[in-house]
Structure 1
Amino acid sequence: MNKAVTSVLIAGLVAAGLQLSTVQAEGEGATPTPAAAHDIIVVKSQSSGGVVVLGGYVMPEKIVNLSAQMPGDVEFVGGSEGDEFKKGDRLVALDTTALQAKRVQAVSQLASADAGYRNSLVQYNREVFTPNSQSNSMLGGMPGMFSMFSDPMRSVMGQGSPGYERHSNLYGQGVQIETARNAVEQARAGLRELDDSLENAVSYAPFDGVILKKMVEQGDIVQPGMPLVTFADITKLQVRVEVPTGVLNTVKSGGAFQAKLDDDTAPVAVEVDRVFPMADPGGHTTTVKFNLPAGTMAHSGQYAEVLIPDSSKEASAYPSIPQSAILWRGSLPAVFLVDDAGELKLRLIRIGETSASGIVSVISGIKVGDKILANPSAGTRSGS
């Protein structure tokens, strides 16, 4: 009896084990491969080359370095780096207490010179209309009456010339007028010089923009020529590049090219703004400025690359993939490669130029015919 029960139990366990094994085998066969949940594309070939990649930097279209025009103490600083200002706003101001005192003195000197000039005019007119009026006022005009008789006699005898004496008196009064007029002009010039100095003591924003760099603080002592602030309009940015003479013939004013900003893989369309008329004799390059589109997220001084076609370079065929297939691991681009078993493998690559349609040429890391993920997510893992 016991043996029979034991045999039945063993047979049941064996049958249950066989059914469990069958279910597990079916489940394993139905589980999808890791790559099945993603879009897979095949790496294709695309002709690339004949392009020179030139490094440069981003800079504002308008940028000025404001320097001190006179010595003095810094009394006011409008803001710090990144602060925005409108055209005409004060940026830096020097202490003008001493200049204001000198201006008061100059105004007084001008008033005195003007009074002297008016007095010289009055004295000249008196000499014209009432000659020798001071001497004639004595003794009832007797000296003047004697002169009426004595002057002709002196002239006949050659002992005097009343006419020349009259001319000499008028000329002397005229010289006093001219001297007084020169004193007035000198005082006015001194006042204008002080006004210019007062104006130079304040640095104003020449246009709407921001402070890029501040070199002084309140209380600093500056001398003429010392830098105060660097001010720029960052709403209009450019890329400045030194272009070799060999490819300069393809760069014309208004021409369109592609550029890359730092590690950003998305290309940016740039337009030639200016080609400098003179080349660098040492480096055999010419400075070219390219306009960045409005609203481009870039900073002054940021590294940039401009792609310029070069007909002297032969074109080469490279693997090409869409931008969406590229992930960045730090500063390194990578893709997820799908092997024959359907497993994912992270593969670092070196990328080349990017077309306007978003197709990126790959220099190394994958080859034509490889299968990769078209849109890997941030959570995708190798071998998952």
Structure 2
Amino acid sequence: MKKILIILIPLAILALIVIKLVANKQVAEDKVYIYNADQAIPVTVTLAKNQEVNQSIQYTGTFEPFRESKLSAEVQGKVNQLFVENGSHVRAGQVLIQLDDALLKLQLEAAKVQVASLEADLKRYQVLVENDAIQGVQLEKTEVALASARIQVQTVQEQINKSQIKAPFAGIITAKLTERGDFALPSKPLLQLTDIHQLKLQLQIPESDLKFFAEGSPTQVTVPALDLTLSAKVSLVGSRGSLSKSFPVELMLNNLENQPIKAGMFGEVSLVNSLSASGIVIPSSAILGSDLQPQVYLVKNGKAILQDVKIARRMENQVLISAGLQPGDQIISSGLINVYEGANISINQ
């Protein structure tokens, strides 16, 4: 009996294990999704048809100053006086900073004394040469020395003039980068001067819309922050585009008298009537891939067919197609997640 039990018990345990493994396998197989290639994929389609498009497009850019400069000293020296602060309005030629020029003025006085002495010597030598009292070479040396001394006076005077830093144009001080007592060097910016009596609006325009921005053409610019609309003129159309096929365009406009528009504000240009067009318009959701190689799925004979298209313009949640589609084409606009080339399609009603 013991021998029989020793044989039966392991067999019973083994049988239970086999039964459990078979049951687990069945549960796992029931959970695995088996794709049925013949099953139709439900989708929503849009019928392609020609439409008239009247679109308003806004281009947003940033206002830049008409001109801006960081002012540095042409000669080195200590900052003795600073006549402006941040936000100061200055006129062209106004003195902004006075550097220490005491030593230069002393050098100028010494040079002037030298000139006066040589002029007196020159007069005496001229009399002596006329009376053959001395040789003419002495007179010539004095003339050369006098010319050199006069150049020295002009040189020192020019250095004194450069110790005053003046505004090269009218504008506003937008950055004060020094204080009284600092040491100025030709390579060290001291002030930033900004002219916003005119402003430049920088835009990036797609190549398809460049025809609306001919150089010199007038347009209207809106400043959303100030609720202002002003006249502007296209001053520059870039000759080199970016990888996304957009080109820099610059518009010039006059600021108002109190200069409410500041550099760095946003500006908008709207195109309305210029963008009227006709063509096949489809939902943006139907487009696959990028604008460089856009594609859509068509439904033909109950199957999904991949079709190359060409985008003329994007308009919010719609796209104007210029090539690749014909009126009457059925375009899959939603349910694309499971769609593939040649898939069976059922159209949601």
Q: How many residues align?
A: 229
1:217 to 176, 179, 183: 179
Q: C-alpha distance in 1, partners of 2:79/2:280?
A: 61
Map 1:3-22 onto structure 2 (within 5 A): none
Amino acid at match of 2:78: D
Q: Is residue 100 from structure 1 mapped to residue 63 from structure 2 by the alignment? A: no
Identify the structure with the greater helix proportion. 1
State the match for 1:275 in structure 2: 236
2:162 to 176, 190, 200: 200
Q: C-alpha distance in 2, partners of 1:182/1:282?
A: 62
Q: C-alpha distance in 1, partners of 2:152/2:118?
A: 12
Is contact 1:244–1:286 with CA below 8 Å preserved after alignment? no
Larger radius of gyration: 1
Q: Is residue 189 from structure 1 mapped to residue 151 from structure 2 by the alignment? A: yes
Q: Is residue 299 from structure 1 mapped to residue 306 from structure 2 by the alignment? A: no
Change (3 A) 1:241 1:219: farther
1:48 to 43, 55, 75: 55
Q: C-alpha distance in 2, partners of 1:218/1:316?
A: 68
Which stretch shows the higher mean deviation, 246-255 or 197-206?
246-255
Map 1:166-177 onto structure 2 (within 5 A): 172-173=135-136, 175-177=137-139
Q: TM-score, normalised by structure 1?
A: 0.50
Change (3 A) 1:105 1:249: farther
Q: Percent identity?
A: 21
| Structure 2, unpaired ranges of 5+ | 1-51, 282-314, 318-349
Q: How far off its partner does 1:199 sit? A: 0.9
State the match for 2:142 in structure 1: 180
Q: C-alpha distance in 1, partners of 2:106/2:179?
A: 25
Is contact 2:213–2:234 with CA below 8 Å preserved after alignment? no
**Cα shift readout 1:233-273 (whole Å, capped 9, x = no counterpart):** 33333323455666444323442223343656x46234225
State the match for 2:93 in structure 1: 88
State the match for 2:76 in structure 1: 71
Is contact 1:48–1:316 with CA below 8 Å preserved after alignment? no
Change (3 A) 1:197 1:245: farther
Change (3 A) 1:68 1:195: same
Q: TM-score, normalised by structure 2?
A: 0.55
- Equivalent position SS for 1:91: strand
Change (3 A) 1:121 1:75: same
Is contact 1:103–1:191 with CA below 8 Å preserved after alignment? yes
Amino acid at match of 1:268: T
**Cα shift readout 1:128-156 (whole Å, capped 9, x = no counterpart):** xxxxx6xxxxxxxxxxxxxxxxxxxxxxx
2:200 to 238, 241, 252: 238
Q: C-alpha distance in 1, partners of 2:70/2:93?
A: 16
Which stretch shows the higher mean deviation, 75-84 or 244-253?
244-253
Is contact 2:99–2:163 with CA below 8 Å preserved after alignment? yes
**Cα shift readout 1:279-299 (whole Å, capped 9, x = no counterpart):** 457777445232145256321
Q: C-alpha distance in 1, partners of 2:89/2:240?
A: 36
Q: C-alpha distance in 2, partners of 1:313/1:228?
A: 54
State the match for 1:289 in structure 2: 251
Amino acid at match of 2:86: E
Is contact 1:107–1:191 with CA below 8 Å preserved after alignment? yes
Change (3 A) 1:255 1:110: same
Q: How far off its partner does 1:124 sit? A: 1.5
Is contact 1:83–1:211 with CA below 8 Å preserved after alignment? yes
Is contact 2:108–2:153 with CA below 8 Å preserved after alignment? yes
**Cα shift readout 1:110-130 (whole Å, capped 9, x = no counterpart):** 122222322331222111xxx
Amino acid at match of 1:259: V
- Equivalent position SS for 1:48: coil
Amino acid at match of 1:298: I
Q: C-alpha distance in 2, partners of 1:120/1:245?
A: 79
2:125 to 104, 117, 120: 120
Amino acid at match of 2:223: L
Q: What do you get for the CA RMSD once the two structures are aligned?
A: 3.6
Q: C-alpha distance in 2, partners of 1:249/1:71?
A: 52
| Structure 1, unpaired ranges of 5+ | 1-44, 128-132, 134-168, 318-361, 365-384
